[in-house]
Amino acid sequence: MNLDELENVVKRCGMPRFTAKQLAQWLYEKRVESFAGMTNISKKNQEKLAQLYIVGREAPKHSVKSKDGTVKYLFGVGSGQVVESVYIPDHDRATLCVSSQSGCKMNCYFCATGKMGFKAQLSAAQIVNQILSIPPKPEKGHEPMHELTNIVFMGMGEPLDNFKAVERVIEILTAPWGLAWSPKRITVSTVGKLPELKDLLEKTQVHVAVSVHTAETAQRESMMPAQKAFPISTIMKLLSGYDFAHQRRLSLEYILWRGVNDDVAHADMLVKLINRIPCRVNLIRFHKVDGVDLTPCSEERMQMFRNYLNGKGITATIRASRGEDIMAACGMLAGKDKGKSKN
């Protein structure tokens, strides 16, 4: 709930209006798990709230830790469905990759989540729960986890296919009554679903990452069915109308496959697609997915591709691969890891 809705709650319960801000603080800042933990609200009012509402927090079903420190969490989201979230520590940063759907409608050829098909939309509560429940309090004898510094909507699902819920989560993350984060700590990744991309750009100030993967139209359509409805050229034309030269950042995601999109010709097509739009290109290693006959390109090829883009004045970096040994790397989330906790 947002602050207006919390004000309606306290009005319904006959409580003072200021109680709404207390509720917001307990829910989002102090991350309380029950009304009984709200110590500055009377026991009588705690009981009233508990009769009509639930806090809604649920711990992950289980977790598994990678040798590189990445942790993957499995959350139940009702009706037997599950989603995965990935915690990625990196020096002074701690990023959480959150899911917005169980499964995905986009059916990208190279993505394990797409192979699941679409299962369910997540509510804003189910998305926020992933954020509030990670990192958990460290168990005795375990290395303490860093407080989250960044959220990326790059987990299971297409965030803009569930835009209303994602927009509400962004509000909770950035509002002064919520977590009060800067929107620059949040990135939303998308295949470029329109018109929701336009709404995201106009209603929020979060960073945007667009999955391109190839600038060749027919090739992109064969791998990413969304290309037919949302051509990458149309997406880039829309993006060209917004300011990415200052605080807000635009990233283009580009997985490199051996002999498919890793040559100079494809690099040149990408340069032409970008034209003069200020952006960063993230070059991503491909991680094997069952039933997909694509292979990662060589490290030398990735460096060549990066250097070519850099030489054309485009900032390009090779993203470090994290969590591959626990099926937590880019494109590998499929909600299959349901065994006993390993972290």
The length of the chain in residues reads: 343
* Orientation angle between helical segments 124-132 and 163-174, nearest 10 degrees: 40
Distances 227 to 86, 138, 264, 280 between C-alpha atoms, Å: 27, 43, 22, 21
User: Which residues belong to the active site?
Assistant: 84, 330
Render each residue's pLDDT in the chain as its tens digit; 343 residues: 999 999 999 999 999 999 999 999 999 999 999 999 999 999 999 999 999 999 999 999 999 999 988 999 999 998 889 999 999 998 889 999 999 999 999 999 999 898 899 999 999 999 999 999 886 554 444 455 568 999 999 999 999 999 999 999 999 999 999 999 999 999 999 999 999 999 999 999 999 999 999 999 999 999 999 999 999 999 999 999 999 988 899 999 999 999 999 999 999 999 999 999 999 999 999 988 888 999 999 999 999 999 999 999 999 999 987 766 766 557 666 666 444 444 4
Its pTM stands at 0.92
3 state SS of 137: coil
Domains located in the chain, CATH noted = 3-52 (1.10.150.530), 62-326 (3.20.20.70)
Angle (CA) 159-30-59 rounded to 5° is 55
Question: b vs e for 94-109, b when ≥16 Cβ sit within 10 Å of the residue's Cβ?
Answer: bbbbbbbbbbbebbbb
Q: How far apart are CA 280 and CA 240, in angstroms?
A: 14
CA distance 219 to 240: 23
